[in-house]
Structure 1
């Protein structure tokens, strides 16, 4: 029995043990001449108690120093997702476990409120969705992202959101209100305009056309949106760069960004397996271009290099991006999110100020 046939709408068909595990399991025939069908692979969600809500970073590659991630793992199942290796810290696989064994932290809103209320807290924009999508399907039930946004709105705290999910439209009224105060920007990731290719690379994410409709909905409500052409896949989606930017602009985006495909740790093996299954004729070209940008390796994790690579090909992509953004009016610097409105709201029992 081919176990891959029992796995539908997933980014990968493998589930190798995490890199910290001492033991691994592999499927094997039991010796009986009985045709069996494995049950469908379903998504499981467990809960954990969050001890902190805000994660801080010191990366010079990122335009923010703090973030919130509502969930661990992501049901969208994008095979190229750079966050997959983080599941190894939970004793789980970067493969199927990452997209089927998810973790929610229902107390995130309460913890966030406590952290923002601390006297030592100094305000700066918070990013949501930098590791896993805050509007993946399980948000519909758990509403952790919404609870965090409600706290941020109450504190007049600036936030930048990154997502592929259509569930963000559920929070349109809240986001429009925050946008009116200069407190929010949204980034919508658009990898390709080819719906069939998207379905194979990002099996449970909304279609490209649906994401463009999200951009339209948000911008018409006054929420500023950045179209994120990420990741660019050399030899597979790189020819779409101008089309992606044009489609984002047409939908209402006022800014743009790009990141090259990143293959840290287990992602490289998963990605190469996907290429062998789905794009065997292009596999050599794709990997050759990636290695060309990373000094012969599949990935270079150095700051300043990991996001975009280096060399002639990376330079050409950068030039095309800059030229197209200038033509479309997407290169105008966005107004910074406001930090001056931040204030800890009065709570019942608080002593009132004399001034």
Structure 2
């Protein structure tokens, strides 16, 4: 069986998207009367015949929002399993999706696969998108959790892909196996999220902080024979790009063993900071993949991590040491993605 890496053509997209660095996304306006949102619409798959401001599908609710909107619009989603592909187009920013009963009760699922640009259950293209309390699932590979994997070919199957700048996800879930979460470009913040997969399941060239997130390695569930996968595949292309993945606190656990990351770009950058590692972390920790000989250009680091998987004795020799406070402080949430305080202006508070 061949475990496929993310498709090569994606590199062209990433080069175009990230060449200009962090985008200059607008700030969304609050509603009238001091409200953080201009108005609210509702999605309830069991509501019967929809009416004004009430929809049976999430995509229909998004379609109702006018393009080039510059005020926060809240989409309240009632509990249920929504079997649909959902896409927020680039001209519809300032959207706040909220599953009102949390991610365990509100999920969006689909079984697209093969192409990374077509398979995602959820696609968010614009700047200024906030999501809270929703699970995004690609069920394609997950159907094979039966212990009989000999004749099964794992395929790329994305749960979500995130393009826009200033995108934040709170208490969300991302379920898949290969390429679960495509963190494409822009500044992104993931707080208290659950992310699972086995191969390259957090990948792309975003500039992102994952804070207090639970990372579930499932390589051992589908491949009990001892295959090793990869948690991250970060695609930073040059030393001038501000991109990278920073994991603060949280936990890495699961079944089997995964590398913490492999290089999806010649300047790949991933930092785990005070994270708990269960025994699922491969002893070598990191993989140069197609960039052997350029290891000195990577920024792969583990700072203050603990747990049985945090022993660095057998780690690759080229893993970076960030021992000084100034070295790690530049990867704090405020310094790395929140330079203009956009997180404080989100409509959650």
* TM-score under structure 1 length normalisation: 0.29
Q: Which has the larger radius of gyration?
A: 1
Greater share of residues in helix: 1
Q: Which has the higher contact order (CA 8 A, sep 6+)?
A: 1
Greater share of residues in strand: 2
